[in-house]
Amino acid sequence: MVGSDSAFDIANTLIDRLALKRRTLQFSSFNSIRQRAAASRRLNFSVPPLESPSAATLLRVVGSGAAFAARGLLPREAADLLKPLIAGGPGAVGMGGERNLQEPDDVLAAAPDLYRIGLHDALLDMAENYLCEPCLYLGSCLKLERSAAPALGTRQWHTDVEDDRIFRFIIYLNDVDEEGGPFTYIDASRSVAVRRALNYRSGFVSDAKMREILPEQQWRKVTGEAGTMIAFDGARMFHRASQPTGRDRFSITFTYVSRYPKQIWYATRLRRDSRRSLLPMLSIRQMECVPKARSS
């Protein structure tokens, strides 16, 4: 007989892989009910206080529909954990060769402290101030964007589908200039017009197609030195990783959604044994932010 936890994990896996919840919400009646429930939750939520004026500035910019980029925003202990990655590059966590991506479960196994950066109270405070409700932490993801790789997947324009609001931040782990594959986005107000013109729901849009809708002069690129943190709402704006032309780009991404998301990608959930080993290291608040496990 399958235990209740295992049955829940299997159900989560099916929902994630088939995107059942997100597909159902494409019907306006279901989505209206969901939006009313979200509005009620936000109305009754007391946002936690922020530690610094810089965090308040970040949230104002992201709330306005733009991306915010700066250095020195991470708590000191979190920033210190990234120093070996900045100094040692992808090889410091076993990346390179054919290994260009580490999903959350991989990050937790290779470097648990890197996964736990995203559970720092100061970062949870920022996420919940933006979302205006308790958050789920979808983990950290390490990416090596190769200059020789084709412009496929997230190198094409898209918006994120996990939730109506998504608080996400990318930290460059090497210097990124125009030739280094900078994060590129279209602000939220223009993204509304692009979505309407394309009758867009989800998926990827090529540069050529985007140019037909919006001049390239209105695309925004974010360059920066190693340690630069870029905060944005991936659900509200079209964005992509630019094609690196001169050098590879190494980065880490942290993602937060509400506790009632539209979808959590299968690879974002931790395996049961990984999640079980993680929880004893966390506070009650942190434990509540870790999604249910996947089935395998």
Strand partners, 229: 70, 171
The CB density around residue 267, as the number of other CB atoms within 10 Å, is 16
Q: Is the pLDDT score of 216 beyond 90? A: yes
H helices of the chain, where?
4-18, 20-24, 28-43, 53-63, 76-88, 104-110, 112-117, 121-131, 188-198, 207-213, 272-278, 284-288
113/28: higher pLDDT: 113
Tell me what the mean pLDDT of segment 88-112 comes to: 90
The pLDDT, as a whole number, for residue 94 is 86
Q: pLDDT digits over 39-84, tens only?
A: 888 888 899 999 889 999 999 999 999 999 999 889 999 999 999 9
For the chain, give me the number of helices (H) and strands (E)? 12, 9
Secondary structure letter of residue 50 according to DSSP = P
Q: What is the CA radius of gyration of the chain?
A: 19
The pLDDT value recorded for residue 8 is: 45
DSSP 8-state code for residue 278 = H
> Strand order in 167-172's β-sheet?
68-70, 229-232, 167-172, 249-258, 135-145, 101-102
- Secondary structure letter of residue 73 according to DSSP: -
pLDDT value at residue 271: 95
**Which pLDDT band, with edges at 50, 70 and 90, does 1 fall under?**
very low
CATH assignment, 4-288? 2.60.120.620
Neighbours of 113 (CB within 10 A): 15
- The residue type of 294 is R
Report the pLDDT averaged over residues 137-151. 87
As a whole number of angstroms, the distance between CA 284 and CA 71 comes to 30
pLDDT value of position 255: 98
Q: How do the domains of the chain map onto residue ranges?
A: 4-288
Average pLDDT along the chain: 89
Q: Could you report the per-residue pLDDT of 157-204, keeping only the tens digit for each?
A: 999 999 999 999 999 999 999 999 999 999 999 999 999 999 998 899
**What percent of the chain clears pLDDT 90, i.e. is strictly above it?**
70
User: ∠ at Cα 84 (77, 80), nearest 5°?
Assistant: 10
Average pLDDT over residues 220-234: 97
**pTM of this structure:** 0.89
List b or e across 242-256, with b for residues whose CB sees 16 or more CB atoms inside 10 angstroms: bbbeebbbbbbbbbb
DSSP 3-state of 87? helix
Q: What is d(CA 79, CA 73) in angstroms, rounded to the nearest whole number?
A: 9
Q: Give residue 2's pLDDT.
A: 43
Our measurement of the distance from residue 221's CA atom to the centroid of its chain's CA atoms, rounded to an integer in Å, reads 18
List Cα–Cα distances, 259 to 85, 116, 127, 165, in angstroms: 31, 18, 12, 11
